Amino acid sequence: MPRPIKAYIHPGAVRHNLEFVRGKAPRSRVWAVVKANAYGHGIERIFPALASADGIALLDLDEAVRVRQLGWKKPVLLLEGVFAASDVQMADELALTVAVHCDEQRQLIVATKPKQPIDVYLKMNSGMNRLGFTPESFRAAWERSNTSAGIGDITLMSHFAGADEGSIDWQLEQFDEATRDIPGPRSLSNSAAALWHSRAHRDWVRPGIVLYGGSPSGLAKDINDAPLRPSMTLRSELIGVRTIRAGETVGYARTYQADSDMRIGVVACGYADGYPRHAPTGTPIAVDGVMTRTVGRVSMDMLTVDLTPCPNAGIGSTVELWGEHVKIDDVASSSGTIGYELMCALAPRVPVSVTA
């Protein structure tokens, strides 16, 4: 019998969340973002839920190949574009749309002479200061691309640095000003802007985290009134139970000391399964559906919980690490990170089941 830990992926939740985003941005087409193997869910597992998306956006060519093999005929966008001539050839064969964030990428496409013109997303750096042409150089970049052999339709793209926590106006102004008289569709909005900034929706939105029911800001409260459903549940069981006396400590480095006699449970889940080691005492967790808290350090294969609120729990009791009852964003905030990271970090050793 394997360890009792298991992850459950819910394509039905992804389908539901996709429809919710669509309703939020009814005049825009939707790229479903499935980079990082669908934020740790597994592209193949959630693929059936994406049928109504207008396109699939990702980073790795290997993922683009898988999506085409699954039979996806609609557009596929490579969010960081191409890095070598062989990538351009693949993009040509697989009919991919590719981001172009610098002139080297444009030159690579031209030099590789694709058989079919490749559609591009010309990216502006409107303030994020990672990838993209500056607003001042954008028009010239567009003109060069527009007259380049091997380049097809051009969409104007940018990415927000702070759509989650406040204003996007400064970036939107940069973008609108610099693209004022340039034709072509626009794509600006990640999940945060898709949910909270309708003036940035434009022609194509690019939601990622909301498809998986996570909060774009990292805070559960920010999506409280959005009817999103979590698409990943991580569950395990108690494999040990003991009573400790007041004054005794639990786990490595003795970070938790009991104030009074108490029962603790040992859960078959640790940081080697993808549970954050930084989760401190007090991180929410559910045992037999009852909310309680972790106590002490998370170890590689185990963690410990306070069984005070669940006196009937024993070996074999079900533990939810995150999912329906325990919000992944709450586990993440308690651990100093965001739900995105926890989803992506689900370890390969954890068996996965796909449920409805």
Residues making up the binding site for substrate: 130, 300
Q: Which CB, 96 or 298, lies closer to ligand PLP?
A: 96
Q: Are strands 151-158 and 6-9 parallel, antiparallel or unpaired?
A: unpaired
The CB-of-187 to ligand PLP minimum distance in angstroms stands at 8
Binding-site positions read: 130, 300
Sign of CA dihedral 224, 228, 229, 234: negative
Q: Which CB, 216 or 265, lies closer to ligand PLP?
A: 216
The CB-of-106 to ligand PLP minimum distance in angstroms stands at 18
> Which positions ≥6 away from 294 have C-beta within 8 Å?
279, 280, 281, 282, 283, 285, 303, 304, 305, 306
Q: Which CB, 5 or 79, lies closer to ligand PLP?
A: 79
The CB-of-320 to ligand PLP minimum distance in angstroms stands at 24
**CA 45-46-48 angle, 5° bins:** 105
The CB-of-205 to ligand PLP minimum distance in angstroms stands at 9
The one catalytic residue in 74, 113, 221, 252 is 252
Q: Which residue stretches of 197-263 are H helix? A: none
The CB-of-204 to ligand PLP minimum distance in angstroms stands at 10
Q: Is 252 a catalytic residue?
A: yes
DSSP code of 133? B
The one catalytic residue in 24, 35, 123, 327 is 35
Hey, which bits of the chain come out as E strands? Answer: 6-9, 29-33, 55-58, 76-78, 97-100, 118-124, 151-158, 186-187, 204-205, 232-244, 249-250, 256-257, 262-267, 284-287, 290-293, 303-306, 318-322, 352-354
Which residue(s) pair with 122 in the sheet? 100, 156
Q: Is 35 a catalytic residue?
A: yes
The CB-of-58 to ligand PLP minimum distance in angstroms stands at 9
Q: Which CB, 40 or 296, lies closer to ligand PLP?
A: 40
Positions touching ligand PLP (CB under 6 A) are: 33, 35, 79, 159, 190-191, 206-209, 216
By the 8 A CB rule, do 121 and 80 touch?
A: no
Burial 313-330 (b: 16+ CB within 10 A, else e): beeebebbbbbeebbbbb
By the 8 A CB rule, do 14 and 212 touch?
A: yes
By the 8 A CB rule, do 154 and 118 touch?
A: no
What tokens were used for 223? 């999506």
Q: Are strands 6-9 and 352-354 parallel, antiparallel or unpaired?
A: parallel
Q: Which CB, 88 or 124, lies closer to ligand PLP?
A: 124
Burial 210-223 (b: 16+ CB within 10 A, else e): bbbbbbbbbbbebb
Q: Which CB, 155 or 236, lies closer to ligand PLP?
A: 155
- Name the residue whose CB lies closest to ligand PLP: 208
By the 8 A CB rule, do 273 and 308 touch?
A: no
Which residues are known to be catalytic? Answer: 35, 252
